[in-house]
């Protein structure tokens, strides 16, 4: 199924439209590097100096190429359909040929990245909890052992039209360990809202 790029997406790719094929091939390699290992800011800086543009322009162009690959795989475009999208996005026939060859050669890499970043995983449904404190035992007359027991409900929907599959997990921990878990979850939320994470979310959405 064909699709058209947004004006913002086209603007990110515009720096590539009048470049020689060899330079576009270099950008394709940077896009592949982003898919496999993340941003290579050192190479972005070198490319920015060569083209006399800001580093951000290079980074957005690389992300734009990755987003083009991802959307094309999500729409299951054939090589000829991808060619039409590239031409409609402003690339001439010579540059389109470079992009189409790159697309055809890296379908498996893009599919693997999509599968890794968007796995089907259970998510939160509900939570029941109880707080207990043991204040004595036969061995120790005076002791305090607080315990938190939780029943975590999870829900998974393999396909949008399927009924959800639900399961429950029984968890038990002490306050210190719970505090550590909360700290790690807070750190994960901060990382998820970082600039790098937001860029990846924008590319793969």
pLDDT tens across 132-189, in order? Answer: 887 776 766 677 788 999 999 988 765 444 567 788 889 899 888 989 989 998 888 8
Axis-axis angle for helices 41-51, 21-37 (nearest 10): 160
Contacting residues for 38 by C-beta, under 8 A, at least 6 apart: none
Q: Name which residue leads in pLDDT, 203 or 70.
A: 70
54: pLDDT strictly greater than 70: yes
Give the separation between CA 37 and CA 123, rounded to whole angstroms: 27
Give the separation between CA 170 and CA 149, rounded to whole angstroms: 7
CA triple 37-43-44, angle to 5 deg: 95
Main-chain dihedrals φ then ψ at residue 67, nearest 5 degrees: -65, -35
Report domain extents, the chain.
Answer: 7-117, 123-204
Instruction: Give Cα separations from 167 to 16, 32, 154 (angstroms).
Output: 50, 38, 5
Q: Name which residue leads in pLDDT, 202 or 133.
A: 133
Give the separation between CA 19 and CA 91, rounded to whole angstroms: 10
119: pLDDT strictly greater than 60: no
Give the separation between CA 115 and CA 107, rounded to whole angstroms: 12
Output the pLDDT for position 160: 41
1: pLDDT strictly greater than 80: no
The secondary structure of residue 144, as a DSSP letter, is: -
Output the pLDDT for position 98: 96
């Amino acid at each position: 199924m064909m699709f058209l790029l947004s004006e913002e997406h086209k603007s990110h790719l515009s720096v590539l439209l009048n470049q020689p094929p060899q330079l576009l091939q270099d950008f394709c390699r940077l896009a592949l590097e982003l898919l496999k290992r993340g941003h290579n800011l050192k190479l972005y800086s070198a490319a920015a100096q060569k083209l006399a543009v800001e580093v951000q322009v290079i980074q957005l162009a690389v992300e734009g190429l990755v987003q083009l690959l991802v959307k094309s795989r999500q729409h299951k475009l054939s090589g000829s359909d991808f060619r039409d999208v590239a031409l409609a996005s402003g690339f001439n026939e010579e540059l389109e040929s470079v992009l189409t060859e790159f697309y055809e050669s890296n379908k498996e890499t893009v599919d693997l990245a999509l599968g890794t970043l968007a796995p089907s995983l259970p998510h939160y449904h509900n939570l029941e909890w109880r707080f207990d404190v043991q204040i004595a035992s036969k061995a120790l007359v005076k002791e305090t052992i607080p315990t938190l027991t939780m029943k975590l409900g999870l829900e998974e929907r393999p396909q949008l039209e399927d009924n959800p599959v639900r399961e429950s997990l029984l968890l038990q921990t002490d306050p210190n360990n719970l505090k550590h878990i909360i700290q790690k979850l807070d750190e994960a939320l901060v990382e998820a809202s970082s600039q790098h994470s937001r860029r990846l979310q924008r590319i793969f959405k």
